[in-house]
Structure 1
Amino acid sequence: MSIAADVDVDLKSLVRTIPDYPKPGIMFRDITTLIGDASGLRSAVERLVEPYRDSNIQAVAGIEARGFILGGAVAEKLNCGFIPIRKKGKLPYTAIGQDYELEYGIDVIEIHEDALAAGERVLLIDDLIATGGTAEAAAKLLRKLDANLVGAAFVIDLPDLGGCARLASLGVKCHTLIAFEGD
């Protein structure tokens, strides 16, 4: 199948919804079914890349873990490097961290202190944006390294939870492919 044909793939139909996971009342949007479909994966990557193709992106930063899968593919398409943003204690070299709030407490994500040069044009990637807490922490981390955060891109948006608005308040433009309202 050609890339052009892949753009017509119905990504939403490839996302599996798991009710009451990880707790009652949550409708978990699982992209493993989407990325397991060759046409779905190609289409998602092409659509994530498209707005940034001519933006001179110098690095893609992906948030652990599904942001690694998508971010690596996007970085390859944009002909740039990939930078992992990981949970605390997972990076082997000196790292800087950023706290963010969870429903049940505080967590920390980290990036290597030498991951970027000041002013480098960076695109942030993850699979889904909900409340935006993790993405906000990632944006703050990138800015601690003086990155020029060009934008943030996600396959799924849960717009009722306000994550893109939260990033917009930091001056970060969101690009999303599909939305699930009411989540």
Structure 2
Amino acid sequence: MTFDEFSIKTLIRPVVDFPKPGVIFRDITPLFQSPRALRMVADSFIQRYVEADFSHIGAMDARGFLIGSIIAYELNKPLVLFRKEGKLPADVLSESYKTEYGEAKLEVHADSLCEGDKVLIFDDLIATGGTLLAAVQLVRRMGASIIEAAAIIDLPELGGSQKLQDSGIPTFALTCFALNDQ
């Protein structure tokens, strides 16, 4: 079975009214429970980026860590962890951002990147783009650049991928959902 024949959408569970009424949460845990599906997802990203010119992979807390770490390992790239506030032990840079549900802060170790580094950033999905845009700002503050923001899922109606593109960041997602898709 090839990736084209296999629909990852069938393994992304819609959870209605989570974390609040009116929201359809896209749960990727069933995708990770299928070794075959996980391999197909990882292989798709690996094939896309195997010859790309970049130095680091950045992964968003927490579900972005799942796919970002696999890709970093397979492509032999250093992994930069972007964490929620208060989770990193050394000197950090912080960036506030808005989420679908409120406000938050994203942090990264201040010594994670150097001027001239080129970063590919990963998250499980692109919704409003807040987390990824905060990561972009942190990367730029360290003198590095973003080559692309990648995710398993895009929710284009929430505008995040467009905001990233408007900021000069190309985006890529394996699949997308309309807000009301179940």
Amino acid of the structure 1 residue aligned with 2:108 = I
Amino acid of the structure 2 residue aligned with 1:24 = P
The answer to whether 1:36 aligns with 2:33 is yes
Normalized against structure 1, the TM-score is what? 0.93
- Cα offset for 1:181? 1.1
Alpha-carbon displacement from aligned partner over 1:35-55 (angstroms, at most 9, x marks no partner): 111011111112223322211
Unaligned runs of 5+ in 1: none
**Number of aligned pairs?**
180
- Cα offset for 1:182? 2.8
- For residues 101 and 65 of structure 2, the distance between their equivalents in structure 1, rounded to whole angstroms, comes to 25
Distance change in 2, residues 1:148/1:104 (3 Å): closer
- Cα offset for 1:121? 1.5
Amino acid of the structure 2 residue aligned with 1:18 = V
Normalized against structure 2, the TM-score is what? 0.93
Determine the structure 1 residue equivalent to 2:143. Answer: 146
Given that 1:142 and 1:149 are in contact with CA atoms closer than 8 Å, whether structure 2 keeps it comes out as yes
Amino acid of the structure 2 residue aligned with 1:126 = D
Determine the structure 2 residue equivalent to 1:165. Answer: 162
Local SS of the residue matching 1:127: strand
The answer to whether 1:125 aligns with 2:122 is yes
Given that 1:159 and 1:179 are in contact with CA atoms closer than 8 Å, whether structure 2 keeps it comes out as yes
- For residues 82 and 8 of structure 1, the distance between their equivalents in structure 2, rounded to whole angstroms, comes to 31
Given that 1:57 and 1:78 are in contact with CA atoms closer than 8 Å, whether structure 2 keeps it comes out as no
Superposition RMSD in Å: 1.5
Given that 1:151 and 1:175 are in contact with CA atoms closer than 8 Å, whether structure 2 keeps it comes out as yes
Determine the structure 2 residue equivalent to 1:24. Answer: 21
Amino acid of the structure 2 residue aligned with 1:135 = L
- For residues 104 and 172 of structure 1, the distance between their equivalents in structure 2, rounded to whole angstroms, comes to 24
Local SS of the residue matching 2:40: helix
Local SS of the residue matching 2:67: helix
Alpha-carbon displacement from aligned partner over 1:107-138 (angstroms, at most 9, x marks no partner): 10000000012111110000011111111111
Determine the structure 1 residue equivalent to 2:11. Answer: 14
Determine the structure 2 residue equivalent to 1:56. Answer: 53
Given that 1:156 and 1:177 are in contact with CA atoms closer than 8 Å, whether structure 2 keeps it comes out as yes
Determine the structure 2 residue equivalent to 1:69. Answer: 66
The answer to whether 1:134 aligns with 2:108 is no
